[in-house]
């Protein structure tokens, strides 16, 4: 019956993470998966989230189904977090926000919507991007192409090429952009570069689709929402998928949202309705618990500032690790430029290591990086950073 079902090659990042779990070497170092670990190498339980959980459990009653679009308190709190409560688009009722199963769920629901209402459109993603972007959008039946993004020679951005490519894009192409902390490269657009994209989006009638999976890991919670607010203020229609996996350390609770900014409130009503239909066909409605933790942290006057301080601490720790790695590498490998570790932002850096060098890191030193050379800097800590730098220096020699 199932002879024609081919073997699944596996997800490259999740498979590497599994291989790490099975590795028995005591000094192994996991820099593969996009998870924030604390200085003890543990996934933190944020004190603000723990306090919110106690409140939620205390108040818990019956467990009805949530509406298809999710819990109202979550949706409002997330919309205000992303767009700002006082922004015109929010006040005019032009923004639709739905609770989704992680931001992966938001991407999937958005992809199904794009396929249904823009069936012939092309999805444009950065070269490179998070592998699952292509998988999710192709899975919904869309054609996926790339625009130039990362400059391997400089470890920076090919902004002029990106702009030129988008100027040639077909009308109503959907352009996937990382709102901050680009995965996998750590290379972001500056605010001035975002501003330069606006006339191109308008002239070409493009539909931006922003992915905000690392809010707070770039410059700050508010600052990392810059692009979202800019596009909204400029009157563009666009999508945003956002996640609380990293910002609240709630990976397994699958907390995310999909927002759509529409030209007017009447269109927003219809977009919401059709999004609900898509959710109904996919998984009916989202789970309750994690979303209530997020809503409580965002709206509780004592917990919100606690969370904001926790995000600062996570961001600062990553930055300290970037600097530590950079400094040891500069000392160990003279003549090579490692400044990209300092300029790239967020959880990831593209190290420029080849697939073979990554294989050697894993096999000889127990240091796990994705074969593209992507390093999850958030896996470094004060005890493993020197060993990581020494292993990297050895494979670069
Ligand atoms: N987008 C990007 C760019 C990501 O890196 C990730 C997580 N690795 C996601 C989306 C998905 O996050 P979530 O856990 O919310 O599904």
pLDDT < 50 stretches in the chain: none
Closest ligand 1 atom to Cα of 33:
8
Whole-angstrom Cα distance, residue 205 to residue 188? 23
The protein residue with its alpha carbon nearest to ligand 1, atom 6, reads 213
pTM: predicted TM-score of the whole model, two decimal places: 0.96
Question: Ligand 1 centre and the CA of 393: distance in Å?
Answer: 30
Question: Ligand 1 centre and the CA of 132: distance in Å?
Answer: 9
Q: Is 215 in the pocket of ligand 1 (CB under 6 A)?
A: no
Annotated catalytic, 172?
no
User: Which of 104, 129, 215, 250 to probe ligand 1 with, by most ligand atoms within 8 A of CB?
Assistant: 104
Annotated catalytic, 188?
no
Annotated catalytic, 211?
yes
The β-bridge relationship of strands 238-243 and 156-157 is unpaired
Q: Would you state the structure tokens that stand for residue 121, as one six-digit string?
A: 């459109």
CATH architecture of 12-46+305-396: Alpha-Beta Complex (3.90)
Closest ligand 1 atom to Cα of 129:
3
At residue 155's C-alpha, the angle toward residues 13 and 378, to 5°, is 45
Closest ligand 1 atom to Cα of 256:
15
User: Which of 70, 177, 185, 213 to probe ligand 1 with, by most ligand atoms within 8 A of CB?
Assistant: 213
Res 301: pLDDT: 98
Q: Would you state the structure tokens that stand for residue 296, as one six-digit string?
A: 């409580």
Res 11: pLDDT: 84
Fold: same for 12-46+305-396 and 65-299: no
CATH class of the domain at 65-299: alpha beta
Res 34: pLDDT: 92
Question: What ipTM describes this predicted complex?
Answer: 0.99
Q: Is 53 in the pocket of ligand 1 (CB under 6 A)?
A: no
Q: Is 104 in the pocket of ligand 1 (CB under 6 A)?
A: yes
* DSSP per-residue codes, 160-206: HHHHHHHHTSPTT-EEEEESSS-TTT-----HHHHHHHHHHHHHHT-
β-strand partners of 261: 95, 238
Question: Ligand 1 centre and the CA of 280: distance in Å?
Answer: 22
Catalytic residue selected from 246, 276, 307, 362: 246
Contact 318/347 with Cβ under 8 angstroms? yes
pLDDT in tens, 154-187: 889 999 999 999 999 999 999 999 999 999 999 9
Tokens 């959980």 -> residue:
53
Q: Would you state the structure tokens that stand for residue 115, as one six-digit string?
A: 């396929």
Domains of the chain, by residue range, sit at 12-46+305-396, 65-299
For CA atoms 311, 317, 321, 324, give the dihedral sign. positive
């Amino acid at each position: 019956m199932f002879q024609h079902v081919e073997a699944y090659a596996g997800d490259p990042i999740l498979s590497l993470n599994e291989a790490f779990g099975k590795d028995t070497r005591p000094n192994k170092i996991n820099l593969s998966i996009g998870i924030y670990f604390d200085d003890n190498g543990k996934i933190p339980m944020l004190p603000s989230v723990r306090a919110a959980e106690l409140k939620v459990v205390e108040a818990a009653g019956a467990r009805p189904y949530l509406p298809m679009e999710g819990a109202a308190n979550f949706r409002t709190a997330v919309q205000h977090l992303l767009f700002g409560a006082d922004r015109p688009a929010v006040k005019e009722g032009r923004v639709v926000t739905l609770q989704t199963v992680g931001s992966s769920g938001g991407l999937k629901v958005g992809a199904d919507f794009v396929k249904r209402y823009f069936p012939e459109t092309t999805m444009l993603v950065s070269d490179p991007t998070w592998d699952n972007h292509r998988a999710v959008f192709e899975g919904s039946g869309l054609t996926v192409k790339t625009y130039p993004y990362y400059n391997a020679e400089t470890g920076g951005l090919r902004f002029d090429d990106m702009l030129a490519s988008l100027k040639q894009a077909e009308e109503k192409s959907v352009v996937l952009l990382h709102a901050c902390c680009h995965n996998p490269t750590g290379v972001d657009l500056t605010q001035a570069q975002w501003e330069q994209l606006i006339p191109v989006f308008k002239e070409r009638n493009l539909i931006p689709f922003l992915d905000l999976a690392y809010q707070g890991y770039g410059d700050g919670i508010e600052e990392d929402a810059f692009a979202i607010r800019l596009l909204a203020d400029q009157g563009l229609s666009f999508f945003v998928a956002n996640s609380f996996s990293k910002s609240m350390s709630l990976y397994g609770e699958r907390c995310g949202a999909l927002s759509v900014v529409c030209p007017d409130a009447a269109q927003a009503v219809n977009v919401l309705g059709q999004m609900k239909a898509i959710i109904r066909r996919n998984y009916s409605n989202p789970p309750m618990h994690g979303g209530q933790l997020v809503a409580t942290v965002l709206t509780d006057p004592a917990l919100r500032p606690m969370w904001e301080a926790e995000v600062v601490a996570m961001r600062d720790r990553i930055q300290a690790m970037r600097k530590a790695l950079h400094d040891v590498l500069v000392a160990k490998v003279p003549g090579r430029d490692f400044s990209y570790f300092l300029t790239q932002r967020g959880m990831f850096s593209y190290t420029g290591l080849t697939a073979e060098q990554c294989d050697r890191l894993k096999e000889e030193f127990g240091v796990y990086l994705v074969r593209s050379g992507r390093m999850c800097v958030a896996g470094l800590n004060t005890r493993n950073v020197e060993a990581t730098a020494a292993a990297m220096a050895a494979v670069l020699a």
